[in-house]
Amino acid sequence: MNKVIGHLRTINRHKMKVTQLCFRCHLYKQGILHDLSKYSYIELKTGFHYYQGFRSPIDAEKEEKGYSLGWLHHKGRNKHHWEYWIDVGKDGLYACKMPENYVVEMFCDRVAASMIYQGDAYTDHSALDYYNQGRSRILIHEETDRLILHLLQYLADNGLDATIAYIVAHKKSGFKFDI
Half-sphere CA count of 106, side-chain side, radius 13 A? 26
With bands split at pLDDT 50, 70 and 90, how would you rate the model's confidence at 178? confident
Question: Residue 8: inside a domain, yes or no?
Answer: no
Statement: the pTM of the whole predicted model exceeds 0.85: yes
% of the chain residues with pLDDT over 90:
92
Query: What is the per-residue pLDDT across 72-96, written as a single tens digit (0 to 9) for each?
Result: 999 999 999 999 999 999 999 999 9
Cα–Cα separations (whole angstroms), residue 31 to 26, 27, 93, 95, 123: 9, 6, 30, 24, 23
Looking at the structure of the chain, the number of domains it has is 1
User: Residue 91 domain-assigned?
Assistant: yes
Whether residue 126 lies inside any domain: the answer is yes
pLDDT tens-digit readout, 140-153: 999 999 999 999 99
Is residue 41 one of the residues assigned to a domain?
Answer: no
Q: Is residue 115 part of a domain?
A: yes
